Amino acid sequence: MAGHKLEAAIKEFGVDCDGKIALDSGLSTGGFTDCLLQHGASHVYGVDVGYGQVAEKIRVHEHVSVIERTNLRHLTKLPQLVDLVTLDLSFISILVVMPAVVKVMKTDSTLITLIKPQFEARRSQVGKGGIIRDPLVHKEVLDRI
């Protein structure tokens, strides 16, 4: 399912993945990683704070390096700088992880991120069940990101 979200972004924004070194953070089962590989990425570093969720076909893929039990904000380096970064994060703000992400990106890298308002807004702005219905809060979050 997650791969479909990335697929839509790649098509909508004309992102070229061919031959790119990528970082997929929020790896989970590997949907974004699978999508990146299908679009020609030469290697994907998949980072996730969790453990044991990655689909076997992704875990054993020769062009994938799985880095589990790693909070992205504590990532200090990768074996090489990346051309493309995808972020599908939960329970942490994009702004909190960006200092670490920038350290592993080339200067002309592309960043594709899902913005989840419930993890970017102030607590007082988040409704019951983590749902934010106020379009002004959505706009504030987008402006801040």
Q: Return d(Cα 6, Cα 102) in angstroms, integer.
A: 20
Q: What is the largest CA-CA distance in the chain?
A: 45
Q: Quick one: 122 and 73 in the same domain?
A: no
* Residue with token string 């996730």: 48
130 and 83 within one domain: no
Same domain for 128 and 83, yes or no, is no
CATH code for the domain in which residue 61 is found: 3.40.50.150
| Residues 33 and 103 reside in one and the same domain | yes
pLDDT tens, residue order, the chain (145 aa): 567 888 988 999 999 999 999 999 988 889 899 999 999 999 999 999 888 889 999 999 999 999 999 999 899 899 999 999 999 887 878 888 889 999 999 999 999 987 776 666 667 666 677 777 777 766 776 777 7
**Exposed, middle or buried, 43 (CB in 10 Å: 0-12/13-18/19+)?**
buried
- pTM over cut 0.85: no
Which pairs count as long-range contacts for 66-72, CB under 8 Å and 24+ apart, including other chains?
A: 66/27, 67/27, 68/27, 72/25, 72/26, 72/47, 72/97, 72/100, 72/101
My answer on whether 26 and 80 are in the same domain is yes
Range of the domain at 132: 117-145
Report the domain count for the chain.
2
Q: Are residues 109 and 121 in the same domain?
A: no
Cβ proximity of 142 and 114 under 8 Å: no
